[in-house]
A and B are shown apart, each in its own frame.
Chain A
């Protein structure tokens, strides 16, 4: 299979996978925390938080990317702070691509997890507390395991979204081969290049294969969860 793709194409594929994995893994703890807040929290500003979390779902990706650039660019307030104190630069780096993917996938992840947390019978958590489990122990031994189907579904959705992310990424971190050129960016560049159609087609096939794989995994998880419930 190595001969099918050129070194440049492999770089784009590997980068896409790396960016998607980092985006999902890094955003998962925050995703669970926000889902918990939205599903269980009763506080002023809950609706506002929900709206902000879901914004990337409805805004044009270019707008999200531009906002990220404004905030996390070298001159942006957050970007300048990170650069100055931690030496972390996100703009035009693959880590920035991961940030863009994480932001775009976040609403999907939070939604799936929040739904599964809402479905948990809180009386089970009460039972756990009468058996001696404190709040953190209840969360780790009852809430989290029961929300697992939603967490897995949210992870797969966010991963798939990250692989397909284009608009916000290209706006925020541009299209630098080997640094920020993911599969969609590479396909976009190849289409613009005379004679690049063959390579674009090969990457498209790879993209379809990866997406299909993610969908199958997500289906398998959902089926398993349904079977567990039905029994």
Chain B
């Protein structure tokens, strides 16, 4: 049940033209505010009509301008979790959750009790939406969308309206959702840590155009990107020492992050910013940075006053930004082996 989107839409002076296919289970639409991400999901949901193109979910054509097909939103079976929960204020949490079931029959994605349990909203069932916190509202909104028998779940920055604490409260639920179900998810966000944690495919959008599309651990290091983000590395939790530092194992080295409450052996993705990477030749000697990865230079590119150095770290691309002088002194060229020192590793906190 792959989602294929190939649409164009003109909105005032803004031109949206995108084509992508969902290859992963959780596909992230990533990009700055105003880049057209929400318009894309609104088109998929049927709330906005594209000017041209086609949207199909597996065999089911949701929209086809040439064939004159434009399925009404209530016939699309596309679940939508909005940024602002949009719970029905006149209904209890329980009625909000079962709302979709009033109109659609058939095998649910998951049963009522299962969803309530997954999202931890059992104690809220008899309350009204106005009595819920932002995080609780968003969890109920997710449950409501899942219980409406969707074939695809759209999530438009479901955490953006929440403060850090609430975000941290919901992320584990989203992670369980992403891991525990077969339902494809299209996840809109401009928060890199969220995307790294949840998605397996990344579609990067800027000013209405797709600038990169691929596996989440490769897409950010593609050429021609704004290299603020160096890349995303997958690593495995080894252990947490007495100092509260958790060690992560990567094929080409070790990473150390502040205490991570995850079982040993579980896989995590870490986000590395391009400016947080320093390059040295050979062994770095005695310095305070403990995150060291062996890497091969694959290419160099001019990027303003700096050089964007694309590295290969055990098959995963990673982009470092260094000064021209630095690049010259190190004699960086494709094929040179270096050690990448990573000053900071970002993980979505919990």
Residue pair A128, B77 in contact (C-beta under 8 Å): no
A137 at the interface (CB under 8 A from B): yes
Decide if B88 touches A130 in the complex (CB within 8 Å).
no
B110-118, B142-150, B182-190, B286-294: which lies at the A interface? B142-150
When C-beta atoms are compared, the residue in chain A nearest to B147 turns out to be A131
Interchain CB contact (< 8 A) of B72 among A121, A129, A131, A146: A129
CA distance A124 to B149 in the complex (A): 19
Q: How far is the CB of A216 from chain B (nearest CB, A)?
A: 24
Q: Are A132 and B88 in contact (CB under 8 A)?
A: no
Instruction: Give the interface size bracket for B toward A.
Output: 20 to 34
A142–B99 Cα distance when bound, in Å, is 11
Q: How far is the CA of A132 from the CA of B106 in the complex (A)?
A: 13
Q: Is B332 an interface residue (CB 8 A)?
A: no
Q: Is the interface of A mostly helix, strand, loop or mixed?
A: helix
Known A137-B103, A231-B130, A231-B131: A131·B144 in contact at CB below 8 Å: yes
Q: Pick from A132, A134, A148 the residue with the most CB of B within 10 Å.
A: A132
Contact with B along A207-228 (1 / 0, CB 8 A): 0000000000000000000000
Among residues 133 to 186 in chain A, which have CB atoms less than 8 Å away from a CB atom of chain B?
A: 133-134, 137, 141-142, 145-146, 148
Shortest C-beta distance, A55 to chain B (Å), equals 34
Once the chains bind, are B80 and A130 in contact (CB under 8 Å)?
Answer: yes
Let me know if A130 and B104 touch, CB within 8 A: no
* Closest A residue to B130 using CB positions: A231
Chain A residues near B99: list those with CB within 8 A.
Answer: 128, 131, 133, 141
Q: Give the shortest distance, in Å, between B160 (CB) and chain A (any CB).
A: 16
B82 interface residue, CB < 8 Å from A? yes
C-alpha spacing A129/B80, complex, angstroms: 10
A193 to B67, CA, bound (A): 79
Q: Does B45 contact A (CB under 8 A)?
A: yes
Complex Cα distance, B74 from A133, in Å, reads: 6
* 0/1 interface trace, chain B 120-148, chain A, CB 8 Å (1 if under): 00000000101100000000000011001
A138 to chain B, nearest CB (A): 8
Cβ-based interface call for A63 (8 A): no
7 nearest interchain CB pairs? A132-B103, A131-B100, A129-B73, A127-B86, A130-B80, A131-B148, A132-B104
Please name 16 pairs of A and B residues whose Cβ atoms are closer than 8 Å in the assembled complex, sorted by A.
A121-B86, A127-B82, A128-B99, A129-B72, A130-B73, A130-B74, A130-B148, A131-B74, A131-B103, A131-B148, A132-B74, A133-B99, A133-B102, A137-B103, A141-B102, A146-B89
Identify the B interface with A (CB < 8 A). 45-47, 72-74, 76-80, 82, 84, 86, 88-90, 99-100, 102-104, 128, 130-131, 144-145, 148-149
List A residues at the B interface (Cβ < 8 Å).
Answer: 121, 123-124, 126-134, 137, 141-142, 145-146, 148, 231
